[in-house]
Structures are given as C-alpha cells and as structure tokens.
Amino acid sequence: MDELIRELKDQGVLKSPYVEAAFRAIDRKDFVLPEYADRAYENHPLPIGEGQTISQPYTVAFMLDLLDPQPGEKILDVGAGSGWQTALLAHVVSQEGEFKSQKSKVKSRGRVYAVERIPELCDFGRANIAKYNFLKSGVVKLFCADATKNLAKEAPFDKIIAAAASAGDIPDVWRKELKVGGRIVAPVNDALKLFVKKSEKEWAEKEFPGFAFVPLISARKPTRNKNSNRLKERWHRLSVFGLMALAVILGASYPAFRPVHLAAPTTIEVATGSGLRVIGQLLKNAGLIRSKWAFVIYTTVIGQASKLKPGIYKFEGEVSVPELTRELASGRLANERLVTIPEGWDLRDIGRYFEGVGAFKAEHWWEITGEPAADYRRRTPAIPQEFYKKFEFLRDNPRGASLEGFLFPDTYRVFRGAQPEEIASRMLENFERKIGSDLRAETRRQKKTLFEVVTMASLLEKEIPDPKERRLASGILWSRLYSGMPLQVDATLNYITGKHESPSGEDFKINSPYNTYRSRGLPSGPIANPGIDAIRAAVYPEKSDYSYYLSTPEGKTIFSRTLEEHNAAKAKFLKRRG
C-alpha cells in the first residue's frame, strides 16, 4: 500500500493530508474479491461482481482531493459498491482535525451516508465496511436504495460524491439536499465535474475530462404516456444489456480488458469512415488491445461507438481499452505527439531527441533551456525571464546558466508544432508538482537548497542503476562532501566529454568545475534531469559504514568500507583505464 501511495503522490494526487492518512489506514485489499487479493494494490479498477468495479485508486484519490472531505462533516456517498470509498470518507470525517491548528479542532463526529442500488453489492459493501467498525460505531449509515430519491431525513449534506455517471446533469435532489458552500463531485456524461453551491441559486462548476464511469440508473415512476413508457422500457433493456456486457468484460473476460504494456511506441491510422469493428481489429492487429470484442462492447456500452475520430495516433507505455476509447473519441492524439524524456537525460540528450523526431532543431531547444554547462564557450543562454518569475525553485540556482536538472523526465502529450518554450514550461510545472511539500520541508530542515539536492540527485541517477541502492550511495556522497573529500564521480566526467563509456586517463585531467576528481564539493550544477526516486534518495540518504562504491559494466553497485576493499573491487570488476 505504501508503494501505491507513493505512486499516486508522484502522479499529483493525494494532496489532502486527510485523504492520504485515510489511504494509509484503510487497506484496499479488504474491499476486493478474494480472487483479486494479490492485485489489490495495482493502480486500476478491479471487478466486484454485478457488472461493477472497485474504482482505480488514482480516480478515487483525484475525486477525494476535489471533494476535500473534512473531520466532522456529513457526506453522501452515492454508489458505495465495495465500500472502499465509503470507508476512506468515514476515516476522514471521524477524525478530530489533527492536521488543523489547535484552535480549529473538530468536536462533533462526522457521518457518511452511503447509498448502493444493487442489493448484492449493498451486502458486499456492508461486510467490507464492517471490518473497520464504522457501521457499529454509527459513523457510516448504509442504504440499499436509489440515490436519486429524496433523502430529506439525513439532509442537508456538507458534501456529495458519486461513482456513477449522470446523463446531462446531476439529479436535482442532490442540489437541493446540499448545504450552501458545499461541494458535489460526480461524473456527468464523459467527464468528472465539481459543483460548488455558492447560494441557493448560484453554482460554480468545473469540468475534468478523461474519466469513464458506469451509468447512474434510477428506478423512475412510470408515466401515463404509453410512448414514453415504451421508450423507457426500451432504454431499460439497453441499460441492462449494457451492464451485462460490461459485466462480461470486467468479469469472466477480464483478462481481455487488462492494460497492454507496449514494448515500443505504436502508431496507427484510423481511416475516414472506419466502422467500430474495423477500428477494433486495427487496434488488435497493432497489439494495443487483447480483444477486439472487449473494445467493441465497452465502446458501445459507454455510448462512444459513433464518436471515434479518424487520424494518426501514437501510443506509448501502458494503454487500456478505456484510454484508447477516450483518445479516439476526443481526437486529441491525432493532433498531438507523445514526448518521452527518460530519467537521466541531460539537455544535450533532450535537444537531440527533439531534433530526431522532427519537432525542432536542437539549437532552438538550447536557446531556451541552455546547453549542458560543459558546452558553454562563446555565448550566454537566453533563458526566458518569465521562467524565473513563475518558478520560484529556479532562484536557488546560483549559476543560472541553464534549466539542467529541473526538466522533469516523464511522458508528455504536446500539440504538433509546440515550441520549446511551451514544452520546457510543461516540464518545469511537472517538476514543481512532483517535488511535494514533504521534500521541500525536509530539504529546508537539513539546511540545504533545492539546487544542491537536485545536483546530488543527478549524480545518483547517472551512477546508481538500482533505485534501492541510491540512498546508500547518497549517504556515502554526502559524507564525503561534509568531510572535504572529493566526490570522484565518473558520471561528471562523461557530462563534460559527452561520452557514454567509462572515462579514460586523459578525462581525469580535465580542468573543469564538473571534474569531481580535481574539484572538491558538488559540481557546479546538475549533470542530468533526475527522476523522483533519485531526488528522494538525495533528500533521505542512508547512513552506513561504507565509504566507497563502484558500478560494474553490468550495472551492479559494489560497496566497500575501506580504500583497500575498494581497490580490490576495482581490480576485480573493472577493466584498467588508460
């Protein structure tokens, strides 16, 4: 669960300390079916029966961050399902506000009113929630009912959250039963929406596209209009068929629905006039999906079958049926490109990459970001001043010569024709999100600057392949730094020379502030753009009695306590350098 939480925080969610604490206290494994227990900590939805799923952890965290639940609040949870989200909310509302100041401690205990329409899931969720004693203590009250009906006895609510999508708009009864100042987080059509009740007649709304949910179904009273009855009956049949189909996908045929991990970027072209089955077969042939019919049925169920747009699409990394459906319906990727910047690339690598994919010349990139510092000979880089105004962390850079180290490695979707300024800004924004308050606070506590931490992280990123060993190496390097020993990091020499192999004898003689064999202390700046694991290792070094390490050509790190042990390891694992 800790690894899942770390992954979610790296993705920019779990911003609320209450929600993060709830994720740590409420184990998702307690809310999945036994056959999926070993996959409880995976970041995607899992089937729970009756054509429903326990939501993807990222989606739950994103929604709860928007909802911003607080201790003492009364919250309506629509579509309780497995009970996981209900239990997370119950943990928050039952707290005493320990994250607040002492003056604002909550005295009254909050409650969660959970509603589930499907009887079998209502029983399933009740059994799961009971594992945490929320029902017995009265923090949770679970209704097996229709959430679109009036819940006046329990209203008004401070906040409302729903896990099923409304068509067109949320039910009027939710608006009526929400307090002024309250929030509703609910999917509507193909997007997630945040509603804030500013007064009895005034609402603020914000939309977040890119989410897919099962439909919200209400048992409405029949009308006297026979044609209307026939239409409703037909819609009911279609809804039942849709849920049955979704149950097939997420249930017995779930392996066909699993995401696909692409070994290499994959490009497809959807021709104008292509039908759903043709597109499904195209995706299957390209290795983007496991089953043509899983795609066809899913796309039909959520009402996107007729909305898929022609164009050229490129996908990388992990792709899923919902993601493919969403992107083909939006048509965005037809005019976008995926840009993947690996951890450990420097400005030299990134500039050459953009030139290689035909985005723009490497020189245009370096005009905005600066070149690797070792390349500076004749000109001063013209880094846009708005970057320094917008991103406060750049002011830690005493050299100010480049953005090296602060362009966060990740996969980005950018419009074709995007300029270097736009892409660099996106990468800086990502860095700012990933370096959370905990890392900043710990850096200040240690009386270090973020620039020093990122510089150290760049050394660890280039030197130590195994993330688990980086904290140990971090302890060694910080210890050397404090004792006045030279760091003697080979990767700094390669940063100067641009080589990708072990440094030669002449490289060790280079007169440069980046030569950590000749110059004591940290190099003049980062030598690469590190990932979050390396940055965390730089902030949280592990103390040990080791004083030396070396990396073998196979990527293994050998740690030694004495110089004699270190020299013996070099003789054993490294070829003699000329």
**Residues with a known catalytic role:** 55
**Residues ≥6 apart with Cβ < 8 Å to 540:** 442, 471, 474
Q: Distance between CA 291 and CA 443 in Å, rounded?
A: 48
Burial class (CB in 10 A: 0-12, 13-18, 19+), 149: middle
User: Residue 295 is which amino acid?
Assistant: F
| Residue 405 contacts residue 390 (beta carbons within 8 Å) | no
Q: Distance between CA 159 and CA 68 in Å, rounded?
A: 9
Which among 267, 305, 306 is positioned nearest to 285, based on CA atoms?
A: 267
Q: Distance between CA 454 and CA 344 in Å, rounded?
A: 12
| Residue 19 contacts residue 69 (beta carbons within 8 Å) | yes
Torsion of CA 212, 217, 223, 227, to 10 degrees: 50
Query: For residue 506, what are its two tokens?
Result: 């002449």
Which among 74, 79, 61 is positioned nearest to 159, based on CA atoms?
A: 74
Which among 41, 53, 412 is positioned nearest to 212, based on CA atoms?
A: 53
| Residue 140 contacts residue 90 (beta carbons within 8 Å) | yes
Q: Distance between CA 463 and CA 476 in Å, rounded?
A: 13
C-alpha to C-alpha distances, 437 to 25, 65, 432, 441, 488, nearest whole angstrom? 21, 16, 10, 6, 32
| Residue 39 contacts residue 54 (beta carbons within 8 Å) | no
